[in-house]
Chains A and B, each alone.
Chain A
């Protein structure tokens, strides 16, 4: 089984005529993802990789019976593109775009509370159910079908941990990159809920980083609600306070919360072992299985 996506998921690629959209639509299709349409204003009627392009997401959803989209639209227009997908409406929207203005995301966030659509991202690598479908930019070849769920704020760190798992024969149910921005759709707790409810997920890896308090909140959720074992990793132990380390969300205020230490302590208190290295996370997962 899988979480959120499988080989039946019917996907629209928003921005499919752009460089990134075109390249990754092809990669997704090669992986087996059921890409049924593209949506780009003004480009309706064209075909990309044999897939029909529509002017609006509404039209694409109606004509091709789509239920999910992946957004490769440039940041200035990406907020609008997400609104369009929420309004179509689709069940799932994965926003890959990095650099969407925060106030646009605040408005998207408000709209999300009023609809049933799930948003993943933005500024994320996407979601993959190995062997079935990937929606996003994750390198499919490192993943393997199996029993471990994975949720992470960082794309490349996801790849690293997956590599540590796969190389010792531990496969994954689904990996969800939730993104590194201050305002995101699906958060740790949402993803953990999905994995807890999935009978095939026997253990979960949660990769966090400095900044915000999402990991601390997730730790409380795990302690109170989860039977599935979780192992964690927190990036940014050596980050100096007050400096922005790449991700918009990855800044330590210096006020005692949001630090690697407070996150690791919260997770340990919730019974979640935290690896000092990505390899140690795989050790913990091996112990669980």
Chain B
């Protein structure tokens, strides 16, 4: 039973909603689907992962509080540190040459002399569209351990002994980095190309009149004007390479060996192969912190570069 006075206040409250307020409520309701879905599939798993990092849990049995032991266990595991080292090395091997090549490709695609430009653009972007799993399977054939593998038979021409890629410290890393290179180089090329096309042609014309060579144009016009694009790709590349996962998983065919295990692969092995959800969550938190640190470094660098430019102007 609702008393009369309560009804009255309720009515009054409803009436007191101004037109403006009602509009804003409607607005929130319209955007709510995203937030509801995010809360269920994004926020909840994240918070639960933080919670789990302090428990032992195998997914089916009882959860038992474990304090910071999960962190102690992973920090004492040499393979965990190896996985961080691998991630960084594979990330560097995969992204640094990739960005350089993407820049050169974009420059070539943007040049006046090249014909069939659109065909090349599509061709270069194609790898990005292919499925990672397909790429990984293809590359495990290219980097096959046997002497008839594509890379090994090529090396064989020069009398090099076949490399056991899945078990070699550098072989595994190079193979995985090659997949990342192949898949992402087109994506970055298109971004650089877009950047280059946004540079006004007047600048190049003025430079030509002043007698600047192609190299000088590249160095003093293209490169500085592309800075924001380069920063964006470096930023995306850093975060992307910290999350390398599918490539090593498929390349090693399930048996994640320490030569090529990455942080996310390490997490996956703990959580979904062995059902040690506690330590897996602890790894997730450590990875979260690492990504935060890298992002902050990236931001600081970006800001500094931005300020430098402003001062010059």
Task: Tell me whether A and B are bound partners.
Answer: no
Binding site for A on B (CB under 8 A): none
Measured CB to CB, the residues of A under 8 A from B are none
